[in-house]
Amino acid sequence: DAKTTQPNSMESNEEEPVHLPCNHSTISGTDYIHWYRQLPSQGPEYVIHGLTSNVNNRMASLAIAEDRKSSTLILHRATLRDAAVYYCILRGEVGTSGSRLTFGEGTQLTVNP
Amino acid sequence: GAVVSQHPSRVICKSGTSVKIECRSLDFQATTMFWYRQFPKQSLMLMATSNEGSKATYEQGVEKDKFLINHASLTLSTLTVTSAHPEDSSFYICSAAYLRDRGDIQYFGAGTRLSVL
C-alpha cells in the first residue's frame, strides 16, 4: 500500500483556518486521496476525497499538488468540534488490497478557544 | 451521509464468554463491510473485510476462529469474539461501503468498547 506521512500534531485557534498537510510521494496514478477524521471515542467520519483537482465540500477543502505527491486539507474556520485525529489515506483499485482504507497515525488537531 | 449503526456500544463480559457485535447499514446496501480494532492511543487496525454472501478475508495475524465474521445480507454484518480474554479488550469499529470505484466512501459505525474481565 502506498504510504502517507502526516505531522503527529497541530494546533489552531478557534475561528482561524487550519491547513493539515499530507505527503504521499509514492502515490500511483490511480490512487484517490481520502481524508477521514476521528473524534474522541467515536468511529471515523468521512471528510473529503479527490484525485487530481482541488475539491470543496461543506466540511473542508482539499488542495492537491500538481504532481500529486502531497495534499492539504483546509478547514476554513476551525471550531472546538473540529478537534480530532485527521487521517490522510490513499485508496487504490476496488477489488485489490489497495482498496482497503489503511489508517496511519494521523494528525491530532487541537483547537484552542 | 449514510448511516451505519453498530450495536452494542459498550459491553463488559467475563473471560471465556463470546460476544457478538452487529453492524448495520441503515440507508444503503453495502457490498463490503470492514472490521477494525483500535487500542488506546493507537490508530485503527483493519481486522477483516467481508463481502455479502462470501467468506471474510482476514488480515495477517488475525485469528479467523477467534473473530468470526458473518455477512449474511447487504445491510448486516456481525463480528463474534469467541472465548474472549482480557487481551481482546479493545474498541471495535465497523464500516460499510458500496464499493464501485476508488472514490467510494466508507461509512463508519460509532464503535463498540469491549472490556473483558
pLDDT, one tens digit per residue, over A61-88 is: 999 999 999 999 999 999 999 999 999 9
Question: Residue A86: what pLDDT?
Answer: 98
**pLDDT tens sequence across B38-65:** 999 999 999 999 887 788 999 999 999 9
What pLDDT was estimated at residue A1? Answer: 58
What is the per-residue pLDDT for A97? 60
Number of residue pairs across A and B with CB atoms under 8 Å? 65
Please judge whether A43 and B111 are an interchain contact, meaning their C-beta atoms are less than 8 angstroms apart. yes
A106 touches chain B (CB under 8 A): yes
Q: Is the pLDDT of residue A96 over 90?
A: no
Q: Which of A43, A49, A87 lies at the smallest CB-CB distance from B103?
A: A49
What amino acid occupies position A82? Answer: D
CB pair distance less than 8 Å for B109 and A92: no
User: Would an 8 Å CB–CB cutoff place B109 in contact with chain A?
Assistant: yes
Q: What is the pLDDT of residue B28?
A: 85
Q: Which whole number is the average pLDDT over A13-31?
A: 94
How many C-beta atoms surround the C-beta of residue A42 within 10 A?
15
A99 φ, ψ to 5°? -80, -10
- Is the pLDDT at B36 greater than 70, yes or no? yes
Residue A32 pairs with which residues in a beta bridge? Answer: A91
A contact residues 28-47, partner B, Cβ 8 Å cutoff? 30-32, 34, 36, 38, 41-46
What does the alpha-carbon distance between residue B111 and residue B5 come to, in Å, rounded to a whole number? 9
A41: which 3 cell numbers?
471515542
CB contact under 8 A, A43 and B49: no
CB count, 10 Å around CB of B11? 18
Is the per-residue pLDDT at B102 higher than 60? no
Residue B83 is placed in which grid cell? 472465548
Q: Over 60: is that where the pLDDT of A28 sits?
A: yes
